[in-house]
Amino acid sequence: MPTIVVDVMPKAELLDPQGKAIAAALGRTGRGTFDVRQGKRFELTTDAAVSDELLASVQEIATEVLSNGVIEDVVGVHVVEDAPRESQGA
């Protein structure tokens, strides 16, 4: 069964307090200095065959439900087959 992965990130121009807290913790623990931003990964698994229609539908779900365009951006929608390592961009 194919899994479609949707990645969502807070808008670049908005402050990401979670990422900021993680970056501060990395600094405190001596792991280096980084800018960190925290996003979300959704995995949608379906019985349906992957088609342009399905991907269009998932794109719509990503834009209208999984993210809020006022505060977030959908940064990736791609198909992953059964084995997660055999991922391919879409």
Binding site for another protein (CB under 8 A): 10, 14-15, 17-18, 20-21, 65-66, 68, 70-72
- Tell me whether residue 27 or residue 90 sits nearer to another protein (CB atom): 27
* Chain-centroid distance, C-alpha 46: 18
Q: How buried is 59 (Cβ within 10 angstroms: 0-12 exposed, 13-18 middle, 19+ buried)?
A: middle
Question: In the chain, which ranges are E strands?
Answer: 3-10, 40-45, 72-80
- Tell me whether residue 69 or residue 90 sits nearer to another protein (CB atom): 69
Place of tokens 């342009």: 52
* Cβ 72 to another protein shortest distance, Å: 8
* Cβ 6 to another protein shortest distance, Å: 12
32 in Cβ contact with 64 (< 8 Å): no
- Tell me whether residue 11 or residue 78 sits nearer to another protein (CB atom): 11
* Cβ 45 to another protein shortest distance, Å: 18
